[in-house]
Amino acid sequence: MSSVGAGVKEIRIREASGAFRVIYITKLKDAIYVLHCFQKKTQKTRREDISLATQRLKYLIKESGS
């Protein structure tokens, strides 16, 4: 998900109750950080979901000193 930041990935899950997304990054330290997870209601990802993941990534980068 380059729209959130470099190295950010997305897991897409589809099941009977709907579509879900998990936005995460593995490039910081030796951990996997989940930036945001949500249920998709439309084809396009909401701007608010992208913005929240971006804010959380910026916070992690600041805290890790990367």
Q: What does the pLDDT look like over 37-64, one tens digit per residue?
A: 999 988 888 999 999 999 999 999 898 8
Tell me the residue range of the domain where 21 lies: 8-64
Cβ neighbours for 30, distance < 8 A, ≥ 6 positions apart: none
Position 66 confidence tier, pLDDT thresholds 50, 70, 90? low
Please report whether residue 1 resides in a domain.
no
Question: What is the percent of the chain where pLDDT is above 70?
Answer: 98
**Residue 33 resides in a domain:** yes
Average pLDDT, the chain: 90
Q: What is the pLDDT of residue 5?
A: 87
Task: Name the domain count of the chain.
Answer: 1
Q: What is the 3-state secondary structure (H, E, C) of 39-64?
A: EECCCCCCHHHHHHHHHHHHHHHHHH
Distance between CA atoms of residues 55 and 50, nearest Å: 9
User: In this structure, is residue 37 part of a structural domain?
Assistant: yes
Flag whether pLDDT at 28 surpasses 90.
Answer: no
